[in-house]
């Protein structure tokens, strides 16, 4: 039977990826700069009912007349549209060629957290897809190679193949644009509370919005600074220098959103509550001396980084500015990246 399933956690970028290298075909998702991320999982004592996990099952069989994919929700099985299937096949087709098969597939994926809301659902989705598809096709791929296939569906998916802290090398070819773990889970003390400002799907997806980065006059500066930041933050992570990690992550976030806001067309993912949370984190750090730092991906939701022992303090701060308890998600580093599981969705 050519069937397999995988589970994958999303990641949060500390050094952001926002721009494809124009010297390569856009389908390869080769970035303009290295990026650094932390693969994250929910701490199950939280009350948000959000679990940061994607579960995907794929089967290749002569019984399928065409390729088909579905998103599993609590109540429905929704077929992916044509554009979504094109992205899925960007990952599956190269793996099929490698396995020397033309069998069609059926795929079902379930996100246990809001999809396309700026919580990196595409990262976990395509990492899970690459992992499950390679297993179903009986391909014995290293994690390094697997990251290059996950990248074809979503650039940030390369980073979710690994647990802990991960560096995605920009590279200068398909083979050299890969992700690797730079620090295992629990060797650096960090946690976060996510303020989920909006669970809805964002108006402009990251896959579309990223194409506008080159139109911003600030983008060349962001690219140059991101390479420097990647080196600095890697050193800080390995030295367990939490304040330096936090400060660099904030600056990378602001660089990225500055490019978004000054691109053509301009992209404004933040809303008033996003700014309220960011201001609260900054003011609390200045006035109370807390080691709280923020980052925001392509969406309105804010990660408040802290030490593990300060999770309650960070959550109380966000609750006190009016963020409902159900919208606060406590997370920590995920020890494992994408993994094969026995449970199938069909």
Q: Report the C-alpha gap between 7 and 54 in whole angstroms.
A: 6
Fold of 3-341: Ribosomal Protein S5; domain 2 (3.30.230)
Residue 111 has pLDDT above 60, yes or no: yes
The pLDDT > 70 percentage for the chain reads 97
pLDDT at residue 185 above 90?
no
- pTM reported for the whole predicted model: 0.95
Sign of CA dihedral 147, 150, 151, 154: negative
The predicted-structure confidence for 150-179, as pLDDT tens digits, reads as follows 999 999 999 999 999 999 999 999 999 999
Q: How far apart are CA 297 and CA 332, in angstroms?
A: 17
At 268, the pLDDT band (50, 70, 90 cuts) reads: very high
Flag the least confident range among 43-47, 215-219, 281-285, 331-335: 43-47
- Averaged pLDDT score across all residues of the chain: 95
Give the domain ranges of the chain.
Answer: 3-341
Nearest alpha-carbon partner for 338 in 191, 159, 186:
159
Q: In the chain, what percentage of residues exceed pLDDT 90?
A: 90
Beta strand pairing call for 339-341 and 3-8: antiparallel
């Amino acid at each position: 039977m050519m069937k397999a399933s995988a589970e994958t956690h999303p990641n949060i970028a500390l050094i952001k990826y926002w721009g494809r290298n124009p010297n390569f075909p856009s389908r390869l998702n080769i970035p303009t700069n290295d990026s650094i991320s932390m693969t994250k999982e929910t701490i199950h004592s939280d009350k948000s009912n959000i679990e940061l996990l994607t579960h995907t099952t794929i089967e290749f069989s002569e019984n399928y007349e065409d390729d088909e994919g579905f998103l599993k929700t609590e109540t429905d099985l929704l077929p992916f549209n044509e554009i979504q299937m094109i992205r899925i096949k960007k990952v599956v087709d190269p793996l099929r060629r490698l396995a020397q098969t033309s069998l069609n597939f059926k795929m079902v994926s379930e996100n246990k957290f809001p999809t396309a809301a700026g919580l990196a659902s595409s990262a976990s989705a395509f990492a899970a897809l690459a992992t499950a598809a390679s297993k179903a096709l009986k391909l014995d791929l290293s994690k390094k190679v697997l990251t290059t296939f996950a990248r074809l569906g979503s650039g940030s998916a390369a980073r979710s193949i690994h647990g802990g802290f991960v560096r995605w090398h920009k590279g200068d070819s398909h083979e050299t644009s890969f992700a690797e773990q730079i620090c295992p889970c629990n060797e650096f003390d960090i946690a976060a509370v996510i303020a989920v400002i909006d669970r809805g799907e964002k108006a402009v997806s990251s896959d579309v919005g990223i194409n506008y980065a080159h139109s911003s006059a600030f983008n060349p500066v962001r690219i140059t600074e991101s390479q420097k930041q990647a080196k600095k933050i890697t050193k800080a992570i390995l030295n367990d220098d939490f304040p330096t990690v936090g400060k660099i992550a904030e600056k990378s976030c602001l660089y990225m959103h500055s490019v978004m806001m000054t691109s053509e067309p301009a992209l404004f993912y933040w809303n008033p509550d996003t700014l309220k949370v960011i201001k609260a984190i900054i003011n609390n750090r200045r006035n109370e001396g807390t080691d709280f730092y923020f980052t925001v991906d392509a969406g309105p939701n804010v990660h408040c980084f802290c030490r593990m022992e300060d999770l309650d303090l960070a959550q109380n701060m966000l609750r006190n500015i009016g963020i409902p308890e159900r919208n606060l998600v406590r997370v920590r580093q995920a020890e494992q990246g994408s993994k094969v599981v026995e449970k199938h969705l069909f």
